[in-house]
Amino acid sequence: MPSLRSSLLSLAFLAACSDGTGPDNLDLESDSPESLSEAIAAGFSITEVADFNSPWAMTFLPDGRMLVTEKAGTLHLVSADGTQRKTVTGTLPVSSAGQGGLLDVVLHPQFAQNRLVYFSYSESRSSGKGVALARGTFTDGTSPSLTNVRVIFRATPYVSGDGHFSGRIAFSPDGKLFFTNGDRQKFDPAQDPTGTLGKVLRLNDDGTPAAGNPLAARGFHPAVWSYGHRNLLGLAFDASGNLWEHEMGPQGGDEVNLIQPSLNYGWPKASNGSHYDGRDIPDHRAGDGFEPPKVWWNPSISPGGLMVYSGKLWPEWKGDLFIGGLSSQSLVRVDVNGTSASKGDQWNMNSRIREVEEGPDGSIWLLQDGQSGSQGKLLRLRPAS
């Protein structure tokens, strides 16, 4: 059973522009004996709610319970207080090598009526590996399950390797389904119009390409909304309907982007980072034909999940972005003003943060990116008393 002790824990406050370190696919889980209780000050009360084995994503059910994915392929149904959990059957076999696994999980906007749950995962097929999007109907009870599960979209092409699957899911206010496909560490496919790698996709809720995607008339895959992306691990709409995305740069150059239809975000032709072997990549520059990031970091923070905050418990942060930092072992706030953004706070969490979500009451929930018993915890943040 997880500890439910709620402690006033310290979060060493880093300067607004302080950066993390390390590229996304080279850093390892920290085994530091430091605990969250050794860090101080930002005014959070933190509760350790549950413990998982390499959790990747979470989402809240209408009654406050949670669905939590684990990288190896397990989907958990967790009580609101974290004391009870059940395995949800019906998910599909995953390829969990490298950065692959059971990835994102999101409810349909009309979940209360149709009970549809969407999940992404990496899989291996005869043509290689890739990210797939599936959905099923949630059945509650003593043995919860997803029934009528089917794959509704697969990235194209499937290729070799175990990196940059991405797989984030977000529904727009008008009910369209947005899905991220990483470049799979292959670089050039992000600029290839015929495939979906290195792209943000806009789909109908059944996985078919949505009508009106503007690049289709230019010969692009009909699902493509924007392109020139690398490893897109955060995707969220704000209250005004703006779509925010973050992605890992190479050696430096992690980005927060405002995603707009048909735009080219530059990868691998432009980046504010460099190749791992030290070779230069041209920085984003005015007039280069590529959409520049709203915010970027160098050195890297290695951004994980992304959440747009409602302001329920911290009104001063209404509309701001919260990002989990992997190599930077941090929680990062980006200040948003309309369609502009700038660096806000960065708090040291002494553990890799994979996912950030907002709870029904406005609390901030974090998933650590570690093993059960070693920084794989689900944490709830509330204002300190």
Please list the active-site residues. 164
Task: Tell me how far apart the alpha carbons of residues 380 and 360 are, in angstroms, rounded to a whole number.
Answer: 12
Amino acid symbol at 294: K
- Encoding tokens for residue 198? 């290195």
Task: Tell me how far apart the alpha carbons of residues 230 and 181 are, in angstroms, rounded to a whole number.
Answer: 9
DSSP string over 175-217 = S-EEEEE--TT-SGGGG-TTS-TTEEEEE-TTSSBPTT-TTGG
Amino acid symbol at 26: L
Task: Tell me how far apart the alpha carbons of residues 326 and 306 are, in angstroms, rounded to a whole number.
Answer: 12
Cβ(155)–Cβ(161) below 8 Å = no
38 by DSSP, 3-state: which?
helix
Report cis status (omega within 30 of 0) of the bond before 55: no
